[in-house]
Structure 1
Amino acid sequence: MSTVSITADIKVLWPKGHSSYSPGSSEELALISIDLLVKTMGTQGAQKFIEQVLERYQNEHKGTSDTDRE
């Protein structure tokens, strides 16, 4: 697994306020993204969207287990 450094300032405007995020890693960015997807699309909509994204990469690490990539 490679190390990635992220510099981002995410501001989300909601009808009743706003949220701000500053992820420092790809993992934090992913969690924020998933949280926003669920809030805007609902759980099922977010799951379907994530499944579509993961399908693109299903063969990328073929032949390696999850523990091999850590």
Structure 2
Amino acid sequence: MATVSIEADIKARWPQGQCAHSPGSAEELTIIAIDLLVKELGTESAHAFISQVLSRHTASATTV
């Protein structure tokens, strides 16, 4: 596994508010992305989307 460092400034707005983040790791970026995905799609749809994405990675890992 590789160590990844991230330099980003994320600003997001939605009708009920806004946020700004500066993630420094892939884990922090993932938390921000999931939070925004839940805000946009709702919990169940976000969960289904994430499961679909992860299933593609699981399938490719078993074929290596």
Task: Give the TM-score of the pair, scaled to structure 1.
Answer: 0.78
Larger radius of gyration: 1
TM-aligned CA deviation for residue 3 of structure 1: 0.4
CA distance in 2, matches of 1:59, 1:15: 38
Structure 2: gaps (5+ residues) = none
TM-aligned CA deviation for residue 4 of structure 1: 0.1
CA distance in 1, matches of 2:26, 2:59: 21
Q: Structure 1 segments of 4 or more deviating over 2 A?
A: 59-62
Structure 1: gaps (5+ residues) = 63-70
TM-aligned CA deviation for residue 6 of structure 1: 0.5
CA distance in 1, matches of 2:21, 2:8: 8
CA distance in 2, matches of 1:9, 1:37: 17
**Identical-pair percentage:** 56
SS of 1:2's partner is coil
Number of aligned pairs?
A: 62
Amino acid at match of 1:17: G
**Equivalence for 2:44:** 44
Task: Give the TM-score of the pair, scaled to structure 2.
Answer: 0.85
Equivalence map 1:1-70=2 (5 Å): 1-62=1-62
